[in-house]
Structure 1
Amino acid sequence: MRLLLARQVGCTSFEDIRTISGCVCDSYRDACARLILLSDDREFIEAIDELYILNSGFYMRKAFVVMLLGDFMSDPLNVWMKKWKVLSDGLLYNQRRLLGKPDLVIYDDNIKQMCLVEIDRYLRPNGKRLSDFGCMPGIDSPNVIPFHNLFIVNKLSYDCCEMLSEHDSLFKSLNFEQFVAYHDIIQAVSNNLGLMFFVDGFGGSGKTYLWNALSCKIRSQGKIVLNVASSGIASLLLLGGRTAHSQFAHHLVLTG
């Protein structure tokens, strides 16, 4: 509104301020965009940089929420893409302290999602949600929220891009039988069908190769895979594999 008032002349109502060439825009941001007053949102990007000199990531996320609520930015997605690292400052450090794991690694995609969850949390007391701002990225999965659980953190620590690259390499060499099993299993996972599959074959027929291709595909989507084998030697052949005892022993409760 401030920028429009400096440009518009003879306005007698709020609607007049948003009227550009006889057309009433839906918001002040749209009106500014039509007048190319905030084409690159440079002043907001510079404001974030200036604030960051003396303030923490927590404060920066709060400031970004104010910008969203005020409908100030012409292209919030552009500002987000350029300044998400600043807005995410402190999130990794907080998780390392919370989990007592100073070498914890959380990849960029998950850091972005954690930051979006925080922004959404700050919007809600003001009667808004992140989904109300169609120009902003959405929260892809609730899996980013329980990062206080070290087990989940470890299972989500795979680099999605690296997993996708590994999957593409494995996928090219699947034979016909492997491809049929791969297709059926991926379909079940993608559609949340909750099915069970039994893959049988003699030693060296490519069962482990199939499991690794499936694991890479699912992990590349930011999902959790638990690769479990009955013996230690077999588990070493699986990506991130563990024996059943090692994986589940701490969850078992023995009763007399």
Structure 2
Amino acid sequence: NEAVWRILSFPIHERHPTVVHLAVHLENGQRVYFSTDNAHAQALSPSPTTLTAFFSLCRDDIFAKTLLYSELPTYYTWNAAAKKFQRRKQGKVVEGHSNLYSTNALGRLYTVHPNNAECFYLRLLLINKRGPTSFQELRTVNGHVCATYREACQELNLLENDAHWDTSLADASNTARPQQIRTLFAVILTTCFPSNPKELWEKYKDYMSEDILHRLRATNQNPDIQFTPNVYNEALVSIEDICLAITNKALVQLGMDAPERSANNLFDCELERETHFDINELSTFVQTNLPKLIPEQRIAYDRIMHAITSQNGGLYFIDAPGG
């Protein structure tokens, strides 16, 4: 039985074929381990990862230039001590290469959540592009160096089209108010990861900005005022505020251009968020629930309220696993 098998130290399981995990990270984004003795040296010259070693190998080895990142372990082994890939010395001889051997080893790239956008698209490029020699070449398409990995994926048609989101915004544009359309667009940006959000914005920005234009015309008593960059910018600020509330991500992190915000605007938004409460409703809530507090809760409440009323302030952490 299993107990005897374990007592005799027989193997409990086996894994076949060999699976090699391959690092995925942005340029200069690899994990670095250091101590007080080598912190400066590690910062200046971090140890190679399987990804940076792959780039180096593609520069020096013609055969490696023909491979995908995930195919590398089939023909090369990772020397953990030397931090580099080396050709296998055993296995099946590769046709046309007398000194090259292959096995059934598999390479598996670490997964990346789409919320980590640029790293996610970098991984997508690594899965599809053969023999890159650097991060820059990885995002180079037909001789053009793309500004982002997402743009490179778009140029290579690796992303789904946005027809579904286009239809959703088109339907909303016929029936919904501008604020509702902006909210829908923010939800699409933060949860659906459209491949070309800028194109969707350009197509529907007038619908998302109509209320701002209407307010501007009414304020200036001039019905001839038309859409301007400032009108669109205010709409983008509103959309970004919604995105920040949903996922705490700015538009620039979601494939859009950042709207122009002044320091005063940022302060006003934060002030509005912190003061946008119904004081009477909150007062009623306190009066209703204060008598229901248990002794331990009342101690915390009284101490915090005293810090507020005495204007002493303070930092408090209430560890309440039971709610």
Normalized per residue, which structure has more helix? Answer: 1
TM superposition score normalised by structure 2: 0.33
Instruction: Find the structure with the greater CA-based Rg.
Output: 2
